Amino acid sequence: MRVRGVVAYDGTEYSGFQRQTNALTVQEALEAALARITQETVTVLAAGRTDAGVHAVGQVVAFDTAWRHGLDDLWRALNAVLPADIVFLQIEEAAPDFHPRYDARSRRYRYTVHNAPVRDPLTRRYSLHVAASLDVAAMQRAARLLVGTYDFAAFGRAPKPDGTTVRRVLAAEWGRDAPQLHFVIEANAFLYRMVRSIVGTLLQVGRGGMAVEEFSAVLASRDRDRAGPTVPPHGLCLVEVKY
């Protein structure tokens, strides 16, 4: 049967989700746990190939197994052997042809900024510390310009060399839970490092180094050299995948 699961993980110690030959990844850890419990060689499919250091609370995966016991037993067994920084939040039986990536309608990411004069040791693994005062209203105005179907080549590259850089953004906004700022963006799909590049450019707006109108021009330019610096991965989290 095909099983669908929702996975959360702290990506700090992993070189992204996708399996690699010379680095530890989330996919490798999941497949090792499944092999230990089911005694099968299992390939895990995922909705998003998060980069090294990126976290998730809503990653959706799927795998095939001949497991003959209840799914509750499988769920408990997997969580018992998985590393402490990875957990299955839930699992359920899925349609045989379900694919977490290709069937997804949209994905939602959150980037967290700790905006305070002094860094916070307790949030340092999950947020970017920015000491400077930020014009959040200007950042919000710029973020709203992202909503719609556009060519986002200025903020990232397609997974394949000949792939399109056009994406449809459904929502993009900043929220404040002082001293934390959360940038939430939902789109049908994302380019490589797209969210981190957008956040870096929006922070330029917030610091006063780029006007909202200039941000709009960067988007229209399709020129990656005009975007702001790409922010580090540790503030980024895959929140939800919608179907």
Task: Give the residue numbers annotated as catalytic, written as ranges.
Answer: 51
Residues 168, 174, 177, 181: is their CA dihedral positive or negative?
positive
Among 28, 52, 47, 33, residue whose Cα is nearest residue 236: 52
d(CA 26, CA 35): 14
**Bridge partners, residue 237, by sequence:** 55, 110
Neighbours of 80 (CB within 10 A): 10
Q: Output DSSP code: residue 126.
A: T
Residue 161, C-beta contacts closer than 8 angstroms, at least 6 positions apart: none
What is the token pair recorded at 214?
Answer: 């200039």
Alpha carbon 110 to its chain centroid, in Å, reads: 7
What is the token pair recorded at 165?
Answer: 């850089």
* Contact of 7 with 21, CB cutoff 8 Å: no
d(CA 132, CA 117): 7
Among 166, 170, 114, 116, residue whose Cα is nearest residue 143: 170
d(CA 168, CA 212): 20
